[in-house]
Amino acid sequence: MLLVTANEMQEMDQKAIHSFGIPGLVLMENAGRGAVRVLLPALKGKSIRNIAVLAGRGNNGGDGFVMARYLLEKGYGITVFLLAPKEAVKGDALAQMQLFEKLCDRSSDASLVEIRDEAGLKTNRSRLLHHDLFIDAVLGTGLNSDLRGLIRDAVELMNSSGKPVFSVDIPSGLNADTGKPMGAAVKAFATATFAFAKAGHILYPGNLHTGELSIIDIGIPNFIAREKNIQLSLIERAEIAALFPSREFNSHKGSFGHLLVIAGSTGKTGAAALCANAAMRCGTGLVTLGAAQSLSPVLEGLVLEPMTHALPEKEKGFLSENCLADILSLLNGKQALALGPGLGTREDTATLVRQLVEQSPVPLVLDADAVNCLADDPNILKRKTVPAILTPHPGEMARLCRLSTHDVQADRLGLARKFASTWEVILILKGAQTVIAMPDGRAFINPTGNPGMASGGMGDVLTGMVAGFLAQGFSPETASLAGVYLHGLCADVLSKQKGAFGFLAQDMVQSIPETIFQHIL
């Protein structure tokens, strides 16, 4: 599902109106009517009789006037509270206001109240709170400064009223591009947006303000969006399902790739095992786990289906550059390399990681300590000769970019895109709403996952899944999308079974086949 910025949406609106000849009044009518169709099912069985529409002076307010007309026809008592002087309303919004005013002259169930300032809002507070539902049609997607004065007071009144709020296009006060409240923002139980979802609907905390999101087709031709070459998408189940073809009857283990995992160190053998086992569980034909020789007795008790290979060690329990030749030999006949879970960050290990990034003949998935080993010199990524996928969490991303974790979290999407483009890698920035950024500037937001994933080992499972799909023949892009989406989906399945408290990374590993079977195939 495409996600657009405020500017992209405005440009498409203008092209539909001025280049394609669709009147703005028609688009507004379609928007308001479609929003009512979304709202009405939510009102069934509820004791809602009187509805207050809080309208701004712009097109968002115009959409609210359209909704007011249609809801009046359905028998609801409607009061539109215009948060501006009437003379400030222009264009299509003015036409819609005038239509509603004509209905006010003919129906005792319709009224228009003009609120010019904070004092007017205070005067009308009791009247506002008399209503059973608020429709938030105050501000649209063009907001670029913090709320203040009358508008902020109106938003805070709606939020504190205890009444349900339905937002038109986007909750007022929410930044359409970042999902951040601009000083304050409406918290809606549902939002009807027009033509396309906006990034701010999906990105945290905008998703919490948006509530249930519905997208209304208002008549903008599809070719206008195609010409815009929109760069941001939300991953959808159907897109992931399309990546999984039926397996041929005469398939064998060699049909589904061979993955090499280089991972683990003293005290971190579990990370290596989780990665290798996850790769097997997501359908990889063969997995070989390479680790320091002294770890073999431990690892062979943690993995059954993956093969193990003992690598020479200079220091007990850790890998160094002296095993580079062995690993390069192991890569013969392999389709992908997963590097990093539990590997450690000693200087000898970091040297090995950098050498493998430069010399690997197969696509790479770099996670955890492999990412940390590159933090001092990410330029090494420019010397790779194969595709690379990096899977940092925010702390690792902060080290890569030499920023604070707070800075990373403040601009997850922007930083992921910049890093992927600069270093020509696929960047999977883990966390709530994992971001997958491509080298060409495209980015994807993952909708699956829940707080139950906040425990150790989850990232190791993700690495195994992404690398496993890569070994099976998925492209680096589709392996990243499938791995991230299914990783979160497994957690969602477990959350429904066990609750989002206390399930473990090994539970995730076990759930992979059933999740794919029940929800994807």
Q: How confident is the model at residue 328 (pLDDT cuts 50, 70, 90)?
A: very high
Q: Does 235 reside within a domain?
A: no
Calpha distance 71→189 (Å, rounded): 18
Number of domains the chain contains:
2
Contacts 24+ apart (CB under 8 A), 472-476: 472/256, 472/257, 472/283, 472/284, 472/285, 472/335, 473/256, 473/257, 473/335, 474/243, 476/363, 476/387, 476/389, 476/426
Q: Does 99 reside within a domain?
A: yes
Q: Does 239 reside within a domain?
A: no
Q: Is the dihedral of CA 177, 179, 185, 189 positive or negative?
A: positive
Q: Does 241 reside within a domain?
A: no
Same domain (yes/no): 364, 506 = yes
Same domain (yes/no): 478, 409 = yes
CATH code for position 390: 3.40.1190.20
Same domain (yes/no): 178, 303 = no
pLDDT in tens, 121-142: 999 999 999 999 999 999 999 8
Place of tokens 């999101």: 213
pLDDT in tens, 437-476: 999 999 999 999 999 999 999 999 999 999 999 999 999 9
Same domain (yes/no): 159, 36 = yes
Q: Does 243 reside within a domain?
A: no
Same domain (yes/no): 43, 192 = yes
The predicted model gives 8-17 an average pLDDT of 93
CATH code for position 45: 3.40.50.10260
Pick the most confident of 14-18, 227-231, 325-329: 325-329
Same domain (yes/no): 101, 168 = yes
At which of 230, 265, 288 does a domain end?
230
Same domain (yes/no): 30, 136 = yes
Q: Does 236 reside within a domain?
A: no
Same domain (yes/no): 320, 211 = no
* pTM listed for this prediction: 0.91
Same domain (yes/no): 166, 289 = no
pLDDT at 410 over 90: no
Same domain (yes/no): 195, 290 = no
Q: How confident is the model at residue 222 (pLDDT cuts 50, 70, 90)?
A: confident
Same domain (yes/no): 487, 356 = yes
Q: Does 36 reside within a domain?
A: yes
Residue 283 CB neighbour total at 10 angstroms:
18
pLDDT in tens, 31-87: 999 999 999 999 998 999 999 999 999 999 999 999 999 999 999 999 999 999 999
Q: What is the pLDDT of residue 335?
A: 98
Q: Does 290 reside within a domain?
A: yes
Same domain (yes/no): 381, 515 = yes
What is the domain extent for residue 487? 254-519
The predicted model gives 318-342 an average pLDDT of 97
